[in-house]
Structure formats: C-alpha cells, structure tokens
Amino acid sequence: MDEIVLGLITFFTSTVAGVVGLGGGMMLIAILPSFLPLNALIPVHGLTQMSSNLSRAVFGYKYVKLETIPKFLLGSICGIALFASILYFISLEFVPLFIGIYILLSLWSKKFNEKIKRYESYFLAGFFQTGLSIVVGATGPLTMTLLLKDYEDKHIVVATGAALMSITHTLKVFVFMFFGFVFFDYLGVLIAMIIGAVTGSYVGTKLRDKIEGKKFVLLLKVLLSALAVKLIIGLLW
C-alpha cells in the first residue's frame, strides 16, 4: 500500500517540477519521513529525483543548453568529493539560512546582482549544489536562480535545470552506494516512485506549454522565494 501511495505522491511532485522546474523534490523530502526510516530518506529521495530530473531533461532535450554542463559537472565532482570527505568534521547547521538569503537577494535585489555576477558561475553552482546535496535537501534553487538570469525561455530554464540537477542526484546516489547504502532493500518503493517520477515529468512537460512566459517567470520567482523563506524560518524557528 505504501508503494502505491508514494508512487502517486511522486507523480504529483514530479508534475509540479515538470511545469515550473523545481519544488517537487522539496515537497517529496518533506513527506518521506512519514513512510521511510531516517537513514533511507536522502538516498531514496536522491534516486527518485535522479529519475525525475533525467526524464524531464530527456523530454525537453531540444532545450538543454549543453554548454552549461562541463563546468557544472566539474564543479559537482569537486564539491561532492570535498563535502563527502569532510562531512563528519564540519557543522552545516546554518547552510540553509545562507541559501535562503542568497536566493531572495538574487531574485529581488539589483544591487546584489550587480556585485555577485562577477563571482557566479556554473562551476560554483555545481560545487555547492552537489556538494551540499548529500546533507541539505534544498540546493536545486541555486542553479535555477542562475538559469533564470541567463535565459528567458521557460523550456530552456526547466530542461537545462533538470539536466544539471540530474548530475547532482546521480553523483549523490554513487556516494551513498560507496558508503554502503543498499538500495535493493527498498526495491518495491523505488520502482513505484520512479514510475511516478517519470510519468509526472511527462505530464508536467506537456502542461508547461499552457503557462505564458511572463507568468511562468513570476510563478517561478514566487515559488523560489517561498522556498527560501521556508528555509530561513525553518532554521531560525
């Protein structure tokens, strides 16, 4: 029964992500503690999100900006290698706070954007998004915020973001396999959730055409802002 429920939930969250590019993964990781033990949360979530993002990128392959991938991939490899090696020696308690503040300033402050632009890059986005992803569930907005500045086309933003996030989740899955997590123990749940994720990506891709460009950008900004505020309040509370 849990498998069917999780499959339907993943379908819904993946559809949301297929339409606006993100948010589905955050909703899913907030729901999973009701169904899975704590040690399985991030690995199962990572493999499911890898399926969701990879399928979303495949369905929108014509819009993926390939030039963003090499730098992002290099940054991701460096980031996950560093954070995986020092995971037990550092405190990441305030990372969500900094991510939330960065997103809000990046979306709404022109002065901040003028100053930060010289430092922003897909290498750094990959480094922090993928490195922090093994402990922080809200790193996707880092890349989406950058893509939203660089590209106006909603299909490019969503498809390229999905391609980059699939790199993040793929590397994360390999890290958990290296540390000994046995995905086979959750085979039934994973099959149901992967089917839901891929189906949701397809439906979300089709529904995206129903949203006009300017409304899409505003919706994405509002959703990113809401997620950022949630991060900040969640930590300070």
Q: pTM of the entire structure? A: 0.83
pLDDT at 90: 64
pLDDT at 190: 95
CA–CA distance, 78 with 83 (Å, rounded to integer): 9
pLDDT band at 38 (very low <50, low <70, confident <90, very high): confident
Residues 121-144, mean pLDDT to the nearest whole number: 81
pLDDT at 138: 57
Buried b (16+ CB within 10 A) or exposed e, 49-83: bbbbbbbbbbbbeebbbeebbebbbebbbbbbeeb
Q: Express each pLDDT in 192-202 by its tens digit.
A: 999 999 999 99
Radius of gyration of the chain (CA): 17
Q: Which residue has the higher pLDDT, 62 or 115?
A: 62
Residue 233, pLDDT above cutoff 60: yes
pLDDT at 165: 93
- The two three-digit tokens of residue 146, written as one number: 């950058």
Q: Express each pLDDT in 40-77 by its tens digit.
A: 888 898 899 999 999 999 999 999 999 999 999 999 99
What is residue 34's DSSP assignment?
G
Look up the domain containing 231 and give its range. Answer: 2-236
Percent of the chain with pLDDT over 70: 93
Q: For the chain, how many structural domains are there in total?
A: 1
